[in-house]
Amino acid sequence: MYWRPIYNLLEGDFEVLLVNTHHLKAVPGRKTDVKDAEWIAELLSHGLLLASFIPSAPQRELRELTRYRTSLVEERTREVNRLQKTLEDTNLKLGDVVSDVLGKASRLILQAIVEGETDARRLASFAVGRVRADPQTVERALTGKVTTHHRFMLSQHLTLIENLDEAIRRVEEGIARRFSPPEPPGGEENQPQLVPAAAPSEVESASSKPLSKPLSWQEAVQIIDQVTGISERVTQGLLAEIGLEMSQFPSAKHLASWVGICPGNQESAGKRLSGKTRKGNPHARRLLIQAAHAAAHSKNTYLSAQDRRIAAWRGPKRAAVAVGHSILVIIYHLLRDRTPYQDLGGNYFDEHDRQMVQKHLVRRLERLGYQVELQPRAEVGSLLA
């Protein structure tokens, strides 16, 4: 964080490199601050410094917006938990009879409590909409002991939640403007564009190289949104973290290592010691895990099949990390090649290891005392006819 002010001042006038200190440790040299600075300058003169990935200024601004939105959502969740804690102190079981403690019916009930209403039957009359219990149960749930202190605390919770909702709405509007296509200036779309004449050598070199149009934010959203488990909010957050151009990462493995969602590589004397993931980008990692959980609940998809396959012997947490890694690799290839997403299907692993699946199922049936003989489906149909 301390490098940002200096980087912002020098970015427009110099070529600034942000170097990872982990890389400098691998190069031997003397210590102390002055000698460290001299040593870094000497390494730079020999081209031995690897520059870290620094996104452009618009992408850094988008990052701040998406990360700030995440912070606001988390703070709203904490405030809702505080509201429920206050309700528990009053012995009101509102969360047991409504589907959403901040839904339409709940807000009417809470507002009536704040204004001083104590009659449980009157409070139950506000329970409209998605209520999971009958009126008698709602009335019993709204019978408690509410003091002046509780009303004050409830009013503070509701006011802060409304302010957070408004702040989240404004931030989301700012993010949506950055992902929306720019509006052309009025009257300029029909005017001819003046293009300066180029030299013949420049024309020949330009015609020999295929021109590739830079990928826009809108096109990237349309490409990534097709992946299983990816929502609009996750798409915006991931693009703000990794950017649009995948040329900054030599391969999908480098991108996964930068995010910190790939297995660790710790080996000594030919023995694998630990596969713990390394530290990386915690914001992108959180979004990928969120997308992995959503993909695990999808029906008949490759990612859901992968999650069940790994969770059966490694557990759900490691399966989520593995699926998140697969999602990141898919996004890398989609953005690099600019191709639509094609799901491999839920039976991909069964089709890929058909012989192993057959042996496994036959062995299980034989252990149960059955004699199994496998025949293709066409032959079975002819025998039945």
How far apart (Å, rounded) are the C-alpha atoms in residues 157 and 110? Answer: 10
Residue 183: the pLDDT is 64
Q: What is the pTM of this model?
A: 0.76
Has residue 170 got a pLDDT over 90?
A: yes
Which residues partner with 266 through β-bridges? 274
Q: Taking residues 216-237, what's their average pLDDT?
A: 91
Residue 212: the pLDDT is 63
How far apart (Å, rounded) are the C-alpha atoms in residues 46 and 86? Answer: 64
Name the pairing type of β-strands 271-274 and 266-268: antiparallel
Segment 98-138, tens digit of pLDDT: 888 888 888 888 999 999 888 888 888 887 666 767 878 88
Q: Is the C-alpha dihedral spanning 278, 281, 284, 290 positive or negative?
A: positive
The single residue listed with the structure tokens 């990816």 is 230
Segment 248-303, tens digit of pLDDT: 899 999 999 999 998 777 677 777 766 678 888 999 999 999 999 999 999 999 99
Task: Tell me which of 365 and 14 has the higher pLDDT.
Answer: 365
H helices then E strands: how many in the chain? Answer: 18, 2
Mean of per-residue pLDDT scores for the chain: 82
Residue 24: the pLDDT is 63
How far apart (Å, rounded) are the C-alpha atoms in residues 66 and 172? Answer: 8
SS3 344: coil
How far apart (Å, rounded) are the C-alpha atoms in residues 227 and 250? Answer: 22
Query: Read out DSSP for 257-323?
Result: HHHT-S---EEETTEEEE-PPPP--HHHHHHHHHHHHHHHTSSS-HHHHHHHHHHHHH-HHHHHHHH
Q: What percent of the chain has pLDDT over 90?
A: 38
Separation of CA 117 from chain center: 43
State both tokens at 217.
Answer: 């934010």
pLDDT bucket at 168, cuts 50 / 70 / 90: very high
Residue 26: the pLDDT is 54
The single residue listed with the structure tokens 């000497």 is 42
Domain boundaries, the chain: 3-45, 57-179, 217-262+277-346, 349-380
Q: What is the dihedral of CA 372, 373, 374, 375, to 10 degrees?
A: -140
